[in-house]
Amino acid sequence: MSEISGSTKGMAERVPGRLADTILTPLGVSLCALLACAVLLSLRVTVPIGAMYWDLYVVVDGATRVLDGQVPSVDFFAPVGPLGYWLQALGMRLFPAGQPLLLTQWSYLLVTLPPILPVLARIDRSSRGLALALLLPLLLFVLFPINVEQASSFPSVDGYGIYNRQGAQVLYPLAVALVFERRQRVLLFAIAWCCLALFLSKITGFITGGLLCAFAFAAGRVRLATALGALGAFALGLGLIEAADGLVSAYVADISTLVTMNEGVLASRFIQAASIHFGIFGSGLCLVAALLWLDRRSARELALSALRRPSLATLHALLDRNAVWLAVMLFAGLFYETQNTGGQAFIFIWPVLLAILTAAGRYADRGTVLVFALVAATAVPPAVNVAHKGMRALIGQARYEVLPVSNLKGLGQVSQRPEVIERGYDLLRSYIDHRDSYQAFADADLLPTFTLYSELDFQVAWLLAASEAVDAVRAYETANGVRFRTVMDLNFVNPFAYLLDKEAVPQIAIGADPFRAVPPLDAAARAAVEAADLVLYPRCPVTNANMSLRRLYEPALSRHRLVDLSPCWQAYVRADLAPSS
């Protein structure tokens, strides 16, 4: 009896141990994270609305169009690639109660985990600590919808910089593979997967990834056969997508249009990006200089050897050094940030910093301390900023109120301080009672405040106005015995097809910034707008951007009648659907 009890006790001790050991593997931690995300997306979770939060509605608009059968770039002009819209559409179908921003953020785990887990599984066999040190930062940045930059002093989440975060997050597993993986078949898969995802997410991310891959090839990490195989797999993926619906060629045409509309001086953008992220970039450059100094003797010997007997081996040895890897990563990160406003800048340099840490013990004591200090100065700011802002948002909303609307579906799953919500109502009254003042600002090509779209009360007021529009459209349909089929909004965001369960007008731009992201009206867009049942025009507030959009589309609205829906909304109703006056 005692023997049986003793063996049972030993088994009970071993089973939990094996279970804990399994859960703490990279695969186990990843599955737990995915499960937690699925559970939270199944509930009506709210998040505290933040600055420029309405950027999220562009993603929702794109996903709604995908669910209606529209193809990005083919059926509507998109500011970025289709992958984010596809994933959002899938998430909206699987998790109809899911908070839209969390859905947007967490869906990219399906993109970032497949290329990194095979690499971490091999590392885990020799060092679990190293494997988790590579995985946990990625989970931190993906799970928190938070940018490195500070846009609001109130605890809140960042609904802007979404595309930039997604690109940086895909660059992270690519960097892990290039720095830590030596198996060429695994590298082939990781490179092809990440480059295809980057191309379909954000083209500047794809160019950045290409720079990293090109350097890895030059440094001898990626063999020629692997590079050609990855290129072939990438081309095959694009070829299949192009053959299905012509998306790739249409996407490239959209990119060309956006580049033409946003021509600027690249050098000044490098300076701007370096100044914004100087804490990371400057510390990284100091670390590069320190590593070059500490390794100066071996580097000099290699350089002299390369001069005396040039060969691929000596070239690879010269390039495949931590200091050079870090310098290339910093340059690639800086290039990526030249085209971004908000995001998770430079997060993909952490694999190189970790490799530098693991090798720091070979220096003298002072050198080791210097390297550790500079690595910390480079790596800590983005992680601490995101974790700090994320926890503030999580804890701070305990004192917040949920936005008091019930007709905005997932867009209404936000909260904010009671006084900010009250200011949202006050703003709406101001927009109505003092419309001439806001019209004067718009006529002067000015916003009422320079940072209008960053202000939390504006974001709250916009949602309150959108709620008013939903009610007004439904009331108009009931009063006039009509049913609109298609809808668009002469505004930067156009989520009303999603909110009203209607079809979005095709062939137009989403994320409609008339100054940099809306192409001239062509024949296809004109025909689509002419056929639109309902075109909303927001007046809370009147802005120069909305007026510019109306001027752009007015040639296609001659067969529509302008009606007043509510104090904040006018609408162009197709003539055969509007009551005769």
CA distance 198 to 112: 11
pTM: 0.93
Q: Is the peptide bond before 541 cis (omega within 30 degrees of 0)?
A: yes
pLDDT in tens, the chain (581 residues): 333 333 334 434 445 567 777 788 999 999 999 999 999 999 999 999 999 999 999 999 999 999 999 999 999 999 899 999 999 999 999 999 999 999 999 999 999 999 999 999 999 999 999 999 999 999 999 999 999 988 888 899 999 999 999 999 999 999 999 999 999 999 999 999 999 999 999 999 999 999 999 999 999 999 999 999 999 999 999 999 999 999 999 999 999 988 887 766 566 778 888 888 888 999 999 999 999 999 888 878 877 877 777 778 888 888 999 999 999 999 999 999 987 778 999 999 999 999 999 988 888 788 899 999 999 999 998 999 999 999 999 998 888 999 999 999 999 999 999 999 999 999 999 999 999 999 999 999 999 999 999 999 999 999 999 999 999 999 999 999 999 999 999 999 999 999 999 999 999 999 999 998 899 999 999 999 999 999 999 999 999 999 999 999 999 999 999 999 999 999 999 998 877 65
CB 60 within 8 A of CB 96: no
CA-based angle 74:79:83, to the nearest 5?
70
Sequence-distant (6+) residues with CB within 8 A of 323 are 288, 291, 292, 295
The domains of the chain are located at 108-393
Q: What's the half-sphere exposure (Cβ side, CA atoms, 13 Å) at 559?
A: 12
- Total residue length of the chain: 581
